[in-house]
A = this chain, B = another copy of it.
Amino acid sequence: MVYNNFMKKQISDKVINRLTLYHCILNDYIKKGEEYISSSQIASLLKIDDSQIRKDINLLNNSGKSRVGYITKELKTSIETTLGFSKNKRAYIIGAGNLGMALAKYDNFANYGLNIISLFDNDPNKIGKEVNNKKILDIKDLPIYVWQHFIDIAILTVPSQYAQSTAKFLVNTGIKYIWNFTPVILDVPDDVQVWNENLMGNFLQFTYNIN
């Protein structure tokens, strides 16, 4: 849990995660032209308790509560404001393999304030090409690029064996946030934050109860 400033409420990771799931459902409802949604409709889709959902939503300002349910558009905006989607973050992807390409194509990120500017790779066959309007650039040019652009986040999708050396290279260019999709635990200085996208951890949480 973190405090960003005095205005920001303390919201736990679990709640943040659920709020983004409600946000997905709201997108869908709004697309279908639904003006209202009830906590029990959300509960039945996510198979979690009604009261939990109401509790989460109560953390938001202007949750759009009305007599016939929450107003879909207001609740959606409220989640966006609370979680800070409006504060845009700029990112680049390091490694234009299948995973890097998949993330570059994932347009949903922009809806949440994550703008992927470009990709970097060392493969001459990839450098210069475009994916989803994002150029694949030469990794050698990264230091100059970081110096020219203000970039918040590096998304690391290189093969495992290059993860640590690439992380070291990123740190030397001045990057402070790494979203790590490799299964390697990176050794970085204390002022660099790494978020490990721990797919195996997630998988094991899921399958822990499959016999």
Q: What is the interface of chain A, defined by CB distance below 8 A to chain B?
A: 2, 4, 11, 13, 16-21, 23-25, 28, 45-47, 83-85, 87, 89, 97-99, 101-102, 105-106, 108-109, 112-114, 152-153, 160, 177, 179, 183-187, 190, 193-211
Interface contact A200-B112, CB-CB below 8 Å: yes
Per a CB cutoff under 8 Å, which of B11, B199, B201 touches A208? B11
B contact residues around A200 at 8 Å (CB): 20, 23-24, 108-109, 112
With A4-B211, A25-B185, A177-B210: A201-B20 Cβ-Cβ less than 8 Å: yes
Interface contact A185-B28, CB-CB below 8 Å: yes
With A2-B209, A208-B2: A17-B202 Cβ-Cβ less than 8 Å: yes
A53 → chain B closest CB, angstroms: 13
24 contacts between A and B (CB under 8 A): A2-B208, A16-B201, A17-B201, A17-B202, A24-B184, A28-B184, A45-B186, A46-B185, A84-B204, A87-B210, A87-B211, A89-B207, A89-B210, A98-B98, A108-B160, A113-B207, A114-B203, A114-B207, A152-B210, A153-B207, A153-B210, A193-B206, A195-B205, A195-B206
A165 → chain B closest CB, angstroms: 13
Interface contact A202-B197, CB-CB below 8 Å: yes
With A102-B97, A201-B17: A24-B183 Cβ-Cβ less than 8 Å: yes
User: How far is it, in angstroms, between the C-alpha of A160 and the C-alpha of B98 when the chains are bound?
Assistant: 18
A107 → chain B closest CB, angstroms: 9
Closest to A85 in B: B204
Work out how many copies of this chain go into the complex.
2
B contact residues around A196 at 8 Å (CB): 21
A6 → chain B closest CB, angstroms: 13
A16 → chain B closest CB, angstroms: 5
